[in-house]
Amino acid sequence: MCGIAGYFGFNNISDHQIKECLDKMKNRGPDNNSIRKLRFNENINCYFLHTRLSIIDIDERSNQPFFFDGLYLVYNGEIYNYIELRLQLKSKGYRFNTESDTEVLIKAYHCWGEEMFDKLEGMWAMALFNQHNGNLILSRDRFAEKPLYYYKTKQGIFFGSEIKFIKSICSQNFSINYNQINRYLVNGYKSLYKHHETFYEKIQEVDLSSYLKITPRIEISK
């Protein structure tokens, strides 16, 4: 149950906002917390925050954000077929320094790009930044087992495993979405997943079985 959060856009995030967000993320990952600030083209900033609950390869070598050849990854979940994928990648010449599914994920994207998602079996919420082309990818598993929310402004996009992470990293409160509350009370929890809305105005969920590519324009793919 790791925690992920971050920002991608033209603004700078203060140390105070980062600390406040990491403090709120501790409940999702007591074993490690880390931050990475990245730049692209001198005007786009990317912040990755991660708190880790160590399950697979508990050594610090598997801490996140995880880096490989211009790719940066923060991820929550478990890839059930990571051992099989690692064997496929080894046959293509990839070498591994950890026993984690995190390293398999980032090298799978390096090898197959977005076709990687067709190969994954598991549950996940992830953010991946490609420093070669400046793209950010947000992805969620097929059944939306792992939560992932985002808030888009003219200056960029905030994301996180929980809405309170987004509220703290952007230092903003959000109005209650009464339409979503009414929908829930009248039609039950299944009605919540028929829309991208959440219980807060302006905050959306990444849809199940989808990934968003932010360039910074948002493209949604199933």
What are the tokens at 155? 């200056």
Q: Quick check: is 2 catalytic?
A: yes
Catalytic residue, candidates 2, 21, 46, 170: 2
| Residue ranges with strand state E in the chain | 3-9, 32-40, 44-52, 66-68, 71-79, 122-130, 135-140, 149-152, 156-160, 204-205, 210-214, 218-221
Helix (H) or strand (E) holding 180: helix 178-187
Cα dihedral 55, 7, 142, 202 in deg (nearest 10) = 130
Pairing of strands 32-40, 3-9: unpaired
* 185's tokens: 């009370």
Distances (CA, A) of 216 to 7, 60, 139: 12, 32, 16
CA gap 74, 65 in Å, rounded: 5
Catalytic residue set: 2
